[in-house]
Structure 1
């Protein structure tokens, strides 16, 4: 389905998240003439070098923030997306038992209203019809992912409220908010089994065994986007410090992936419009191109348009 200049905003925690989650969907919508804006909450300053070919690289070690900004620019070009930094500092991934305290001044410790206000401004400027973000578990329990979930959900609500953050611009009612669940246990399980059936060594053996008990979320939308796997892969490779080109992301034969799992999945979390029952194949399904009157957002849940799903 082709649209005319509809707008999608994807909220992510770090540079590289936009390329591993929902990237092919973003590339598809851009190719169809829509606009996609990725908002990256932090600069990824505390990310480790995960590509063994770059370990100890003095240029990277001297300026990890600058290097990751350049990687992000290259990834955005590969996907055709627009991009903004929300401007907060990476919290790092605490490890140990007990876990160490988070570093002072990091994103996860910001008073919620501060990043919410920053994201509300971006929403009111870009005026997306649809937003995507992580679920309440962050997709995985990184403190920045969990925080970005809280910020995105709060900003979705606040952006439409004329009394909230009046300095951030004119209110705008985003019509649907989805959780990106495309990196799901169901996907990994399906690909893992398909590889085993074909006698191909699966790179997900250990991953699957350690994550099989994660909560399974029910997809309400599947976007067919296999034609844009090359753009997704190019964006992933652009994040050279974070993605091992010989790692599991690239060990699944693309013909198998396209056959077994040619889509990315999402779960509807909030809606201000009527949403049809059944599995959607388009995140823009049912949206009003010209936007909603802000007065509609004040409706109580029972008065909202039929079919809208609230909460998740």
Structure 2
């Protein structure tokens, strides 16, 4: 394995998630020569248009799928990464009390082994050394995010077992699994305080109050990747998702000079490793580089 190229697989639920969670990190590694593959579980077909400047998308979920595929291609280009569609249909975000049932055939209703099989096959084909995805809560309670965690966790642990998912490629065991920590309460508080101290209006106040009111437990970040040089690529990827991201909205409400001074890293939680680890880390490939000789 001496001199083998490092490989990173980032598993996400919808197009735009790869740009709002760990995007600068993937752009940085891609620029360093790491082979980075973003896996998108669904086409985002049932997403609403969240950018008030965009207008309407015609053609129902098929029309939205076409638009979001094109957006994803532009975002991947901005980040310098490869991207693969897993092929499932967006479940939508149910609203109401009681919540309505999920649409028939959607991603979140697939049996775990059915939803995991194509990802296991892709892991065995791409052979990532490191995988990233969401924590068991999904990061927020969208059914596709929770399902993405389940599928990525299953694939990470099953891909190396020759007795499981027979007929889906030769076994491959990834060496590390991480959960994204893009919207931690610690980060939001630090940014909120710095923005207010600089005399600006903070976009985080209501969000912090909401998270505290819901008593969402904070998970512990273990890995702090210094990637601020690649915030411009992250922002370009966000803007590529024009149906979802308002260029005058939340993601761009933080003055970039404050962000660079206060929070120049992206955070992850090490969920599992087959190599020795020493926490905290500043590199997703810590403990891996020597193993593969890259």
* TM-score of the aligned structures, taking structure 2 as reference length: 0.95
Q: Provide the C-alpha distance between the structure 1 equivalents of 2:257 and 2:116, rounded to a whole number of angstroms.
A: 41
Counterpart contact for 1:129–1:287, Cα < 8 Å: yes
Query: Alpha carbons of 1:152 and 1:41: their partners in 2 closer, same or farther (altered >3 Å)?
Result: same
1:261 aligns with 2:263: yes
SS in structure 2 opposite 1:53? coil
Partner of 1:114: 114
CA separation of 1:260/1:288 partners in 2, compared to 1, >3 Å: closer, same or farther? closer
Question: Contact 2:45–2:61 at 8 Å: present in 1 too?
Answer: no
- Is the Cα contact below 8 Å between 2:74 and 2:237 reproduced in 1? yes
Distance 1:248 1:58, change over 3 A: same
User: Structure 1 regions of 5+ residues with no counterpart?
Assistant: 292-312
Counterpart in 2 of 1:284? Answer: 285
Deviations 1:272-303 (A, max 9, x none): 11112x21000001115676xxxxxxxxxxxx
Q: Which has the higher contact order (CA 8 A, sep 6+)?
A: 2
Q: Shift of residue 55 of structure 1?
A: 2.7
Deviates more, 1:194-203 or 1:232-241: 194-203
Contact 1:4 1:33 in 2 (8 A): no
Deviations 1:41-100 (A, max 9, x none): 000000000010123354788711100000000000000000000000000000000000
Determine helix, strand or coil for the equivalent of 1:87.
Answer: strand
Cα distance in 1 for residues equivalent to 2:221 and 2:137: 16
Structure 1 window deviating more from structure 2 (57-66 vs 85-94): it is 57-66
Question: Using the alignment, how far apart are the partners of 1:30 and 1:101 within structure 2?
Answer: 40
Give yes or no for the alignment of 1:199 onto 2:199: yes
Q: TM-score, normalised by structure 1?
A: 0.89
Mapped to 2, the partners of 1:50 and 1:168 lie a distance apart of 38
Deviations 1:7-54 (A, max 9, x none): 110000000000000000000001111111010000000000001012
Equivalent residue of 2:48, what SS?
A: coil
Bigger Cα displacement from structure 2, 200-209 vs 11-20: 200-209
CA displacement 1:171-199 (0-9 Å, x = unmatched)? 10100000011221111111001111111
Correspondence 1:15-164 to 2 at 5 A = 15-58=15-58, 63-164=63-164
- Deviation string 1:92-114 (CA, Å, 9 cap, x unpaired) is 00000000000000000001101
Distance apart, 1:125 and its partner CA: 0.7
Q: Deviations 1:224-283 (Å, cap 9, x if unpaired)?
A: 00000000000000000001111010011111001100000000111111112x210000
Q: Which residue of 2 aligns with 1:300?
A: none
| Number of residue pairs aligned between Structure 1 and Structure 2 | 289
Q: Does 1:230 align with 2:243?
A: no
Structure 2 CA distance for aligned equivalents of residues 234 and 168 of structure 1: 36
Q: How many Å separate the matches in 2 of 1:130 and 1:191? A: 29
Asked if structure 2 preserves the Cα contact closer than 8 Å seen for 1:179 and 1:267, the reply is: yes
Structure 1 residues 232 and 214 mapped into 2: Cα distance closer, same or farther (>3 Å)? Answer: same
Q: How many Å separate the matches in 2 of 1:289 and 1:116? A: 30
Q: Say whether 1:215 aligns with 2:223.
A: no
Give the distance between the partners of 2:61 and 2:173, measured in 1 at CA.
42
